[in-house]
Chain A
Amino acid sequence: MKTILPHYDVIIIGSGSIGVPAALSLAQAGLKILVLDSCASVGQGSNKRAIGGIRATHSDPAKIRLCLRSIEIFSTWQEQFGDDIEWVRGGYSFIAYTEREEKILKDLLQTQKRLGLNIEWLNKDALLKVVPALNPESLIGGTFSPDDGNASPLLALHAFYTRAVALGAQFHYDEPVSGITIKSGKVRGVTTTRGEYGADVVINAAGAWARQIGKLVNLDLPVRPDCHEAGITESIAPLVSPMIVDIRPRPGSANFYFYQHKTGQIIFCITPSPNIWGYDINETSVFLPQVAKRMIEVMPRLQNIRVRRTWRGLYPMTPDGSPIVGWCKELEGMLLAVGTCGQGFMLGPGLGELLARMVTGSTTPSDQEILDILTPYRQFAGMEALK
């Protein structure tokens, strides 16, 4: 006999970058919310492994709109609610040292400007004024989007969580989901180690584990994690303001990027090439030599900064590099918010509000445009230019 546990309007599976802001928005809408997670506390899956970059300067209009709203939320959070989430409007700069990157970035710039983003191309001299520490040797220029920024994933998610709790949302940890109850083609509840909860809506926000949750209801979601490694240094005096992104391919790696956090620490991350698929997040000997060379090449001054710690985290990837957001047609009440491709933190607050509007049936025409792009039923053919 299963223990029958309380009924909720919405059960969210996953207390991470998406699940927590979604719980906040749904609780704000007055709904009875339960968030379930197999980890011991908030954000312990991939959120705490994110480096904290927040930008709206994507190429996919859906992501752009969601992130523009996220930036509003991140940047006003402290004045609204008092918690310092270490938001800094430092901007993003994609740099170009060869014509290849110059062309990619300038082509993209047209789309981005058309979509109303505040982003400009800076030639070498102008870019060096913004980022004087860049290696000037063969630098061509780069984009600069001053409205982008960064914040602490740990503090931000915790702030959302505290607020959600204050609004009545419940969070259960160390409680993995083992089943989703279906009756007559409708979601009815969620089973865990403790028993069965009733629910009208279940949101899959399980990040890198979204596919396993999908399988509980025979959905084969095209989400699989690949592993990126990141690191953090000691604190230094202010040196660099925007997030620097270098999209040159190098042996063993694709993009790499770093920024200086509010604490003065430099946080850096690399995209392995080819991708490292799977759930292994144990440290390897490859990362530090690989990233160190690239960072010093881009910013020679960084050679003397002391590295403090490194870690690996998972990017829940989709075939086309864009998230999957939408109702499951085969199963009423099943809502998908998965495959955020390593951008869950920056998408989270905007996406959380969208999910709340979907559940409460108050989506706007603009929301519908986003949902048309992110629909689970799209052909995963294209590829987002700057994922």
Chain B
Amino acid sequence: MPGNRIKQHPILEIPTRKQISFTWKGIPMEGFEGETIASALIANGVSVFGNHPKDGSPQGIFCANGQCSQCMVFANGMPLKACVELLKPGMVIAPANALPELPNVLVVPPAADIPIIDIPVLIIGGGPAGLSAAIELGKRGVNVILVDDKHRLGGKLILQTHRFFGSTDAVFAGTRGIHIATRLEKELQKYDSVQIWLNSTCLAVFSDHKIGVLKDGSQYVLINPQVVLISTGAREKFLAFPGNTLPGVFGAGAFQTLVNRDLVEPSRRLFIIGGGNVGLITGYHALQAGIEVVGLAEALPECGGYKVHKDKLVRLGVPVFTSHTILSANGKERVESVTIARVDAGFQAIPGTEKTFACDSILVAVGLEPVNELLTKAIDFGYKVFAAGDAEEIAEASAAMFSGKIRGLEIARYLGVELGEVPEVWYHTGEILKSRPGMVKSTEEPRIPAGLYPVFHCTQEIPCDPCASICPKGLIFIDHQDIRAIPAYTGGETNCVGCEKCITVCPGLAITLVDYRKDPDFPIVSIPYEFNYDVTTESEKVTVLDTEGTVLGDLEVVKVERVFGRDHTIIVKVRAPASIAPRIAGIRSKELNQTQPMNQYVQVIPDEAIICRCERVSAGEIRQLIRAGYRDINEIKAITRAAMGACGSKTCNSLIHRLFRDEGITTSEITEQTRRPIFIEVPLKVFAGITDKREEGS
């Protein structure tokens, strides 16, 4: 099938799927069974899904997570979110440019009472935290309903093609996120006491101790749990800049969903805003999918993510602009370029430092905030409630898994099913997994150039220990009590057996092996590699680089190892002069597309930036009210309609707060808006107990 599809991937298998036909604006198109409407459209090169009724602005995919409403289309006449609804054969899809006409219905379908289900434990969210908690409860035979709004379990794990950091013992460190999802899912399926409801969204936590759930997208049920665990994860923060709602501006989660889950190419040239782990990792994912990364801008003087993640990008030639911010996304119907500028210490753009780069997509990865509306309600309404993962505190997925495990045990104890205490050390481990990256330490000087030993290009304290866990000889040391320490090699030059397991398990691709045994002047360096570019043939020359991406030279490949069981991580061996061998951290195979700024500067009008995407309310409209003295967000909402749209203020709330901050107004002066049910828009008939599926197909 032609179009914007990923045809090969170094980590992911490209499955064979059944092809189905549909139409878009009357044009016949082909998609795959089981994919979303949005992905089918993107695969066919459609990036503008419609125009907003208020101002005609082009609308496209933004969150790809069912949270915003930007991707709305009409499918067989019904308005629906293209990012969550699956493509059906013969579907007639049209842009949602006008208000929908409701289909004529002649007979009143029979209504039914809404079932009320009593259950000891309801878990909302089947990502790393929810799954881990459900497993602990399943082990103890506790009856649980686990609801998740996606079509498969795992939450964001299923988008993570990289190996995970963290603790090998506690949370599968060294394994790719996608495989962790499968492992947790398989483990959970062993326990009959856990009911798994997929495609099931929690709509509201009510004050009469019932929780409304849209089961399998069509049936409304009320659940009365003894205990509720909120593991709803996080949503991405967004930025206000001119052009921020153009099709082609995505959240990182959306990009990962389209690329790693749906295997479509929403972009050919990507620019990334945000140098935290999410931005860095997503850049790497883009490169693996064959998408060019034009650059990455980070407002702070240093990237906030793990240095090893940043190093991976830098070694692949991605320019990282620290102390830079985005000024605007430029383009008419979709993103055509991005303008960034250097910022001063106060994060203000410095005039004259603007640079514009051609790109077709901009990925915004400027942090996460907890999805905690349901948690807040559950606390307010006096539920026995626990929270785990990002819903409780934003941290890495490894920390989410571990907090889920702890909460699972705590809930079992609360229900009297588990009598043992939660081990104190678990809380300690949980805290370590949540810790932020520490100081960068200088690398230790190379040892005697003889024998065989691993080199760690890992200079920053982060919670991670797979190398220490996997070494069959126990030669790599990381303190078990605190895995944030930098690994140390404790063997001499003869102890390492050269199994290369540490190289392939390292999530940071930050371990190489230097082998001086054959020729001390020209040792063999083994380098991990996760791309399927044509480099990986022997006797080809590759550019070798140090940790920071500095070119050390062009060397001949002596061997390429593709070993089954190493889960797609390739080892490339080069023969290197002894002077540079220990410094080699990575290779680059492709000719770099040198990123060059364009010769134009796009005028910035920040007041134009859209704050509320649903109702198209600009920064200027809200700022004007703030300057006029308005401090109650409810009132700003009443006047401008900001936060009144379909998404329920999931995107704009933090931006409105940001506008207040920019005006020097503190949180204590602001009245927060009233949060109201329901979590997503749902057809009325669902609440009347009418469960017939919408007429779909031809």
Could you tell me which A residues sit within 8 Å of B by CB distance?
Answer: 40-44, 48, 135, 137, 154-155, 158, 173, 233-237, 239, 264, 280, 282-286, 288-289, 291-293, 295-297, 300-311
Contact = CB atoms under 8 A, between A and B. Distances in A.
A373 to B, nearest CB: 33
Given A302-B102, A305-B684, A41 B671 contact: yes
Contact of A48 (B100, B204, B206, B638): B638
Contact of A310 (B100, B111, B677): B677
A40 B671 contact: yes
A293 B104 contact: no
| Nearest 7 Cβ contacts at the A-B interface | A282-B207, A154-B638, A292-B687, A41-B632, A303-B685, A40-B671, A306-B681
Contacts of A301: 102-105
Contacts of A235: 53, 99
B634 A289 contact: no
B684 A302 contact: yes
Contacts of A302: 102, 684
12 contacts: A40-B632, A41-B630, A235-B99, A237-B98, A282-B380, A286-B208, A292-B111, A301-B104, A303-B109, A306-B684, A310-B677, A311-B674
Contacts of A304: 78, 102-103, 105, 683-685, 694
Contacts of A42: 635
Given A284-B206, A292-B688, A293-B688, A309 B634 contact: no
B648 interface: yes
Contact of A283 (B109, B207, B671, B685): B207
Nearest to B206: A285
Nearest to A136: B106
A104 to B, nearest CB: 24
B387 interface: no
Given A41-B632, A303-B685, A306-B79, A239 B102 contact: yes
Contacts, number: 152
Given A306-B682, A310-B677, A296 B648 contact: no
Given A237-B99, A289-B689, A304-B103, A311 B631 contact: no
B683 A306 contact: yes
Given A264-B99, A296-B685, A304-B694, A285 B639 contact: no
Contacts of A300: 105-109
Contacts of B684: 233, 292, 295-296, 302-307
B648 to A, nearest CB: 7
A240 to B, nearest CB: 10
Contacts of B686: 292
A25 to B, nearest CB: 22
Contacts of A305: 102, 683-684
Most chain A beta-carbon contacts within 10 A, residue among B98, B105, B674: B105
Given A41-B630, A283-B676, A289-B114, A236 B206 contact: no
B113 interface: yes
Contacts of A307: 678, 681-684, 687
Interface in B376-409: 380-381
A236 to B, nearest CB: 5
Interface size on B, as a range, is 35 or more
Given A297-B108, A304-B685, A283 B204 contact: yes
A154 B111 contact: no
Contacts of B635: 40-44, 158
A158 B639 CA distance: 8
A284 B220 contact: no
Nearest to B101: A237
B684 to A, nearest CB: 5
A40 B631 contact: yes
B632 to A, nearest CB: 4
B692 to A, nearest CB: 10
Nearest to B209: A285
Contact of A284 (B79, B100, B208, B648): B208
Contacts of A234: 79, 100, 646, 681
A310 B206 contact: no
Given A285-B208, A296-B688, A309 B678 contact: yes
Given A289-B113, A304-B685, A135 B108 contact: yes
A48 B635 CA distance: 10
B212 interface: yes
Contacts of B102: 236-237, 239, 301-302, 304-305
A286 B677 CA distance: 13
A95 to B, nearest CB: 15
Contacts of A137: 108
Interface string B107-127: 111010110000000000000
Nearest to B220: A289
A295 B681 CA distance: 17
B368 interface: no
Contacts of A286: 208
A154 B639 contact: yes
Given A285-B208, A289-B687, A292-B688, A236 B632 contact: no
A237 to B, nearest CB: 5
A43 B678 CA distance: 23
Contacts of B204: 283, 285
B474 to A, nearest CB: 57
Contact of B648 (A291, A293, A309): A309
